[in-house]
Amino acid sequence: MADDRFHVYDTTLRDGAQQEGLNLTVADKLAIARHLDGLGVGFIEGGWPGANPKDTEFFRRARTELDLKHAQLAAFGATRRAGVKAADDPLVAALRESGAPVVTLVAKSHDRHVELALRTTLEENLAMIRDTVSHLRAEGQRVFLDAEHFFDGYKSNPAYALEVVRTAAEAGADVIALCDTNGGMLPDELAEVVLAAVATSARVGIHCHDDTGCAVANTLAAVKAGATHVQGCANGYGERSGNANLFTVVANLQLKRGFDLVPQEALADMTRIAHAITEVTNVTPNSHQPYVGVSAFAHKAGLHASAIKVDPNLYQHIDPAQVGNDMRMLVSDMAGRASVELKGRELGYELDATESRELVEKVKELEARGYTFEAADASFELLLKDTLNGERRRHFTVESWRAIVERRPTGEVVSEATVKVHAKGERIVATGEGNGPVNALDRALRQALERLYPELAALELTDFKVRILEGTHGSDAITRVLITSSDGKGEWATMGVAENVIEASWQALEEAVTYGLLRAGRECDSL
Amino acid sequence: MADDRFHVYDTTLRDGAQQEGLNLTVADKLAIARHLDGLGVGFIEGGWPGANPKDTEFFRRARTELDLKHAQLAAFGATRRAGVKAADDPLVAALRESGAPVVTLVAKSHDRHVELALRTTLEENLAMIRDTVSHLRAEGQRVFLDAEHFFDGYKSNPAYALEVVRTAAEAGADVIALCDTNGGMLPDELAEVVLAAVATSARVGIHCHDDTGCAVANTLAAVKAGATHVQGCANGYGERSGNANLFTVVANLQLKRGFDLVPQEALADMTRIAHAITEVTNVTPNSHQPYVGVSAFAHKAGLHASAIKVDPNLYQHIDPAQVGNDMRMLVSDMAGRASVELKGRELGYELDATESRELVEKVKELEARGYTFEAADASFELLLKDTLNGERRRHFTVESWRAIVERRPTGEVVSEATVKVHAKGERIVATGEGNGPVNALDRALRQALERLYPELAALELTDFKVRILEGTHGSDAITRVLITSSDGKGEWATMGVAENVIEASWQALEEAVTYGLLRAGRECDSL
């Protein structure tokens, strides 16, 4: 459990999900929550149960499927409606029943919003806050309050905005997070308003958006003014220009301001976590992202090259290893030797210097072509084994395959695939049908091999991800396919890269089956 | 000519070009300079003549090919080498001969850099600054000085760092730009150092990088501390995490701090200019970019939509028209009737209450099945038209299609598709080949229709995105495909959802062609 004196509060699953083009399934949300917990954040806002069936399901599944080590879940919701009791409001009931230890209530703190958007009186809005906070507290939940449009509200009516803070605190809210909801603030002016809120003696938090490009700086300014709770989103996700990037905020506070927010070894895993989350969201990673972007410590040689050799710290504001990133001198230098060696050791292989150099070269060359071994452990292990063996070994070779997808005049869509493979000295031809070309190819391949390798019957595709990489002419672009497979005992990920989505899928399938057979104790043959 | 009291100094063509993956030709640089001049910046740093043949050529061609209205060109270069006279240094000569009215000299201001990277004495470094500045001044050029690593230098040896500022100013440099070269500063500490430099009575400028996510805020903090010259790059281009985004800096200062930096009508053209520059650099535009990003004023939350109808300014920090951007409503399952109505109005349709209710029902039902209209405006508009027409109207109907992907024993992968469609009373069968099944289907469909609709020749797929939704059994999951198409005049996005990735792609293709024909003025037939 994180220290309660300073809160790192993530709202990726609620406010971050407001980002254009970002649509998270419940399974995605659970996966992201696990990554955030791995980073050591204190609170994970999971969504708005009751308002949205998907979020209700998230909290239901979280009870059995999430085993959080550091973080506590927070359910987001609104204060009760005007004119009803909190105890009788079904939306408040949904928050109570979410099972979340924390409820974060959003409340209006801008007088004009109360009148124009909420259409109630300023006094009733205060009563709604008082009543909802104290009701949830009495029912045993911890309550935070998001004071919406606080800064514009303070400009419009400072006394009322501060009255909202006081009312919530007196009713039992532990934190009043001041929200720059439209993101229009600049740090100096924001800090003055935070000081005024801190002077009420309530515990103050901060929630910023990046509409002026100052979300991170605004958050830091609020902390300097006395806020002890920072909200933000993984990778700066969020509506419009995004929320404050929680990773940047944490790295700045911990590495430059001496705060002890997350475990040091978790901070050193931040780059991997940031990228793992982009694999879930399927949002292209921002290579320029401070601290964790692929380019964040990349130097175009020239003027700096010789000096960097003398002392890299002359040209870097931190040691990139502190956030799990690497300095890069040349283009497409994704993997360093150290991380390849570490990864090999993690998988149980000791590489000597020549082997690890050779493996790094292969990884670099393949990553330059679009492969990403970070997300495909099993493909990396196959490459590592080939390197150690000094040759490529497989259980089978492929002569050819063909996939046909057809929409018939009846409207029915059918997929069929044929594969021709060689294994244990035999040539085998097999055909499979499926609900799509990849499914059909998967069935055909397993059909072909199952007589020789009966353990393939237990093998199953559990996830399939497609990412289109660059290319300015749509279908001319490179396609990367990631496949997760299971044998009932464990899961593994493989990858394929090709112009053609079906060819990329096939490569990933072939490696998935190869790795599955190795797991089952079947050694490869020399080809 | 811009007012000299406050400088907006762009370094896209020099420091911005250090961005990984950014490679500008001379023609690109000239084109970007014209765009920046259109925005009304005061200075455009064109490159380093003498150090780089491309930059030498840029300054040569600029004399005849650039007709700048507002901006002056600056040539970037270093102080003379140790132990030679400025007048005898060929690199200084190249600056003199560039024809640029301004020279910006980079000089070391960090004692350790002088010793370790420059390998000379602290005194000789000051002499190099004094000599080079006064030589160029005497030859008739205006001189600015970039004090490299100023902030780390100040931490290491404040007296020496300030001595660099004084020496340059006394030798005749008009501005000493303090550079946070490794980008590690946070605003409060940076402001203190700027105050110390301003106290020397030299004119101070600021040059920031975004390694802490604070480049814009650092620039603003420096201005508040007395800097009257801001450096930055278009769209925040630059090495590592990028330079300060000059567009964000200008918009913040002009719209929120009352500075009069660029003509109001130029500011109202900023969004177009920002995107025009991405066309030259071929860097994917950052949709989240403050002020000018496509998403910068896009609203998704249903909660907000009803209030936005009452008063859009309640939810926007500025009027987007001030920077030439637009508010956009995103239709999503979080949205209710208000956002569908607003979206309809944005597209030019007035929906009555019955129609908008019907449309909301359709949107909700389709989004529950995996569609996401926020990302596919054109698919939304087709749905809206069908609703208004009370029936589905199209230019063609599809009898059947078939796609075949094959890897031959030679290793070659080929894709071929056949479509059978009916249009204008004819039945047409056509076949296409492509580098993947979707490309082949696209070609086959256009081949089938081009005789009847020749305008389809101009239609092109420009982006293709695949997302696998939920499903715990890999290829059994639902697939959503988003396609962006272009007719050379504009772009539109369509969507398809199906278990089968090829079927989903086909739906998106069919809508892409339908929408393209509507754009070309071809009315649909009742089916």
B211 and B118 within one domain? yes
For residues A213 and B245, the answer to whether their CB atoms sit within 8 Å is yes
Q: How many residues does chain B have?
A: 527
pTM, entire model: 0.75
- Regarding whether B309 and B252 lie in a shared domain, the answer is no
Q: What does the alpha-carbon distance between residue A204 and residue A189 come to, in Å, rounded to a whole number?
A: 16
What's the pLDDT band for B346 if we cut at 50, 70, 90?
A: confident
Q: What's the confidence (pLDDT) of residue A342?
A: 67
Q: Which of B152, B250, B407, B473 to mutate to test the interface with A (most CBs of A within 10 A)?
A: B407
Q: Which pLDDT belongs to residue B96? A: 96
In contact, B153 and B161? CB cutoff 8 Å? yes
Mean pLDDT lowest among A10-24, A88-102, B160-174: A10-24
* Chain B residues near residue A186 by CB distance under 8 angstroms: 217, 220, 252, 256-257
Note whether residue B225 is domain-resident. Answer: yes
- Within-domain flag for A298: no
Per cent of chain A over pLDDT 70 is: 93
Residue B306 has pLDDT above 70, yes or no: no
Quote the CA–CA distance of A68 and A83 in Å, as a whole number: 38
Asked whether A216 and A206 are in contact (CB, 8 A), the reply is: no
Taking 70 as the threshold, does the pLDDT of residue B332 lie above it? Answer: no
Residue range A25-41, pLDDT digits in tens: 899 999 999 999 999 99
| Per-residue confidence (pLDDT) for residue B455, from 0 to 100 | 93
Report yes or no: B417 and B402 within 8 Å, Cβ to Cβ: yes
The whole-chain average pLDDT of chain B stands at: 90
Q: Is residue A307 part of a domain?
A: no
* Residue A278 counted as domain residue: no
Q: What is the mean pLDDT of residues A96-100?
A: 96
Q: Which chain A residue has the Cα nearest residue B408? A: A400
Positive or negative CA dihedral for B497, B500, B504, B510?
negative
Say how far residue B89 (Cα) sits from the centre of its chain. Answer: 38
**Residue among B245, B315, B464 minimizing CB distance to A475:** B464
Cβ contacts (< 8 Å) between A295 and chain B: which residues? 19-20, 239-241
- Give dist(CA A297, CA A285) in Å, integer: 15
- Closest partner CB to B405 (pick from A117, A289, A403): A403
Among candidates A181, A310, A502 on the partner chain, residue whose Cβ is nearest the Cβ of B437: A502
d(CA B39, CA A194): 35
Tell me whether residues A437 and B407 touch, CB distance under 8 A.
Answer: no
Query: How far is the alpha carbon of B67 from chain A, nearest alpha carbon, in Å?
Result: 31
Chain A environment of B290 (Cβ under 8 Å):
210-213, 241
- Domain with residue B470: its CATH number is 3.30.160.270
- Which are the contacts of B491, defined by CB distance < 8 A and separation ≥ 6? B462, B484, B485
Query: Residues of A with CB below 8 A from B52's CB?
Result: none
Instruction: Check residue A414 and give its pLDDT.
Output: 95
Query: In terms of CA atoms, which chain A residue is nearest residue B416?
Result: A404
Distance from CA of B318 to the nearest CA of A (A): 8
A259, B186 in Cβ contact below 8 A? no
pLDDT digits 0-9 by tens, B13-56:
999 998 877 778 888 899 999 999 999 999 999 999 998 788 99
The per-residue pLDDT for range B90-141, each reduced to its tens digit, is 999 999 999 999 999 999 999 999 998 888 999 999 999 999 999 999 999 9
Averaged over B55-69, what is the pLDDT? 94
Strand-strand pairing, B413-423 and B397-407: antiparallel
> Out of A314, A317, A405, whose CB is closest to B211?
A317
Domain region containing A407: 396-452
- Give the pLDDT of residue B323: 95
CA-based nearest residue to A220, from B183, B181, B214: B214
On whether residue A482 sits in a domain, the answer given is no
Minimal Cβ distance to B214: which of A216, A311, A506: A216
pLDDT 10s digits, A140-161: 999 999 999 999 999 999 999 9
The answer to whether the beta carbons of residues B16 and B9 sit under 8 Å apart is no
Q: How confident is the model over A374-415, as pLDDT tens digits?
A: 668 899 899 999 998 888 889 999 999 999 999 999 999 999
CB contact (8 A) between residue A402 and residue B406: yes
CATH, residue A426: 3.30.160
Taking CB atoms and an 8 Å cutoff, what residues of chain B touch A478?
none
Tell me how close the Cα of B7 comes to any Cα of chain A, in angstroms. Answer: 20
Angle subtended at Cα A482 by Cα B284 and Cα A397, rounded to the nearest 5 degrees: 125
Token pair of B237 as six digits: 């281009």
The answer to whether residues A11 and A243 touch, using CB atoms and an 8 Å cutoff, is yes
One-letter amino acid at B339 equals S
B467 contacts on A by Cβ (under 8 Å)? 23, 282, 466
Residue A121 pLDDT > 60: yes
List the single residue in A with minimal CA-CA distance to B403: A405
pLDDT at B258: 96
The answer to the question of residue B162 being in a domain is: yes
Tokens representing A35 are: 């990554």
Determine the pLDDT at residue A338: 60
pLDDT digits (tens, 9 = 90+) for A492-516: 989 999 989 999 999 999 999 999 9
- Evaluate whether residue B382 is within a structural domain: no
Average pLDDT over chain A, rounded to whole? 90
Residues B182 and B243 in one domain: yes
pLDDT at B146: 98
Q: What does the pLDDT read at residue B94?
A: 96
Count CB-CB contacts under 10 A for residue B58: 29
> What whole-number distance in Å separates Cα of residue A519 and Cα of residue A507?
18
Centre a 10 Å sphere on the Cβ of residue A227 and count the other Cβ atoms it contains. 28
- Condensed to tens digits (0 to 9), the pLDDT of residues B145-155 reads 999 999 999 99
Within a domain: B378: no
Q: In which band, very low, low, confident or very high, does the pLDDT at A474 lie, cut at 50, 70 and 90?
A: very low
Predicted confidence (pLDDT) per residue in B435-461, tens digit: 899 999 999 999 999 999 999 999 988
Euclidean distance between CA atoms B266 and B273, whole angstroms: 9
- Across A50-64, A472-486, B307-321, B333-347, the highest mean pLDDT is recorded for A50-64
Domain count for chain B, please give it: 3
Please state, in angstroms and rounded to a whole number, the distance separating the CA atoms of residues B245 and B112.
Answer: 29
Query: What is the complex's ipTM, to 2 decimals?
Result: 0.75
What pLDDT score does A304 carry? 52
pLDDT in tens, B397-439: 999 999 999 999 999 999 999 999 999 999 999 999 998 999 9
Residues B330 and B416 placed together within one structural domain of the fold: no
Q: Which pLDDT does position A427 carry in this prediction?
A: 96
Interface test with A, best of B185, B190, B241 (most A CBs within 10 A): B241
B195 plus B247 within the same structural domain: yes
Contact yes or no for A205/A175 (Cβ under 8 A): yes
- Whether residue B177 is found in the same domain as residue B229: yes
Pair (B178, B264) in one structural domain: yes
| pLDDT for the residue A437 | 94
pLDDT of residue A330: 40
What pLDDT, on a 0 to 100 scale, did the predictor assign at position A471? Answer: 46
Q: Which of B211, B402, B435 sits opposite A406 (nearest CB)?
A: B402
Tokens coding B169 = 């100013």
Between B204 and B327, whose confidence is greater? B204
| Main-chain phi, psi angles of B201, to 5 degrees | 75, 10
φ/ψ of residue B13, rounded to 5: -75, -15
Confidence of residue B526 (pLDDT cuts 50, 70, 90): low
- Mutation site, B14, B15, B20, interface A, largest A CB count within 10 A: B20
Last residue of a domain, one of A256, A290, A312: A256
Cβ-Cβ contacts under 8 Å, A218 against chain B: 217
DSSP state for residue B520 in the 8-state scheme? T
The better pLDDT of the pair A43, A299 is held by A43
Q: Minimal Cα distance from A223: which residue of B? A: B188
Contacts of A76 in chain B (CB under 8 A): none
Chain B closest-CA separation from residue A460 CA (Å):
8
Report how far residue A168's alpha carbon sits from residue B505's, in angstroms, rounded to the nearest whole number: 51
Tell me how far the alpha carbon of residue A511 is from its chain's centroid. 26
Amino acid at A374: E
**Distance in angstroms (rounded) separating the CA atoms of residues A269 and B143:** 46
| Beta bridge mates, B78 | B106
Contacts of B310 in chain A (CB under 8 A): 116-117
Are both B122 and B25 inside the same structural domain? yes
Range B332-358 average pLDDT: 76
CATH code, A34: 3.20.20.70
* Confidence at A332, pLDDT banded by 50, 70, 90: very low
pLDDT score of A302: 45
| Cβ-defined contact of A210 to B502 (cutoff 8 Å) | no
Q: A11, A20, A278, A466: which to substitute to probe chain B, counting the most B Cβ within 10 Å?
A: A20
What pLDDT sits at residue B473? 42
Condensed to tens digits (0 to 9), the pLDDT of residues A171-213 reads 999 999 999 999 999 999 999 999 999 999 999 999 999 999 9
pLDDT of residue A37: 97
Residue A105, H or E segment? strand A102-108
Q: In terms of domains, do B413 and B457 share one?
A: yes
Contacts of A173 (CB under 8 A, 6+ apart): A105, A133, A143, A144, A145, A202
Residue with tokens 């109570």: A96
Query: Is pLDDT above 90 for B184?
Result: yes
Cα within 13 Å of Cα(A443), Cβ side: 16
Pairs of CB atoms within 8 A across A/B: 339
Query: What does the pLDDT average to over A285-301?
Result: 86
